[in-house]
Amino acid sequence: MSNALDITDSTFEAEVLNSSVPVVVDFWAPWCGPCRKLGPVLDEIAEELKDKIKIVKVNTDENLKTAKEYSIIGLPSLLVFKNGQPVERLVGLMPKSSILSNIEKHL
């Protein structure tokens, strides 16, 4: 079971922009191989940092409005939001240690 919450264009504001904790948004698509490899890594991070952050997933094929609004052109793309603002952008498959170090500086 995934520790990341699937969200949509209609739930993005409530789950991300209005969140009281930093949010990592995973922009992905079902056809994206690296996205599928990143999923379990994000689940581990979500479990390890569950009291400090929230991790959500946005399927870019089904939620074009949000993907376009944040200029998502490469998948997978991770955006870290703090206080409703994007503060970090990570594009492509990368090691868990790199993802963690980029997230932790915003906690």
Residues classed as catalytic = 32, 35
Q: Are 55 and 3 in contact (CB under 8 A)?
A: yes
- Closest to 43 (Cα-Cα) out of 88, 92, 99: 99
Q: Are 3 and 50 in contact (CB under 8 A)?
A: yes
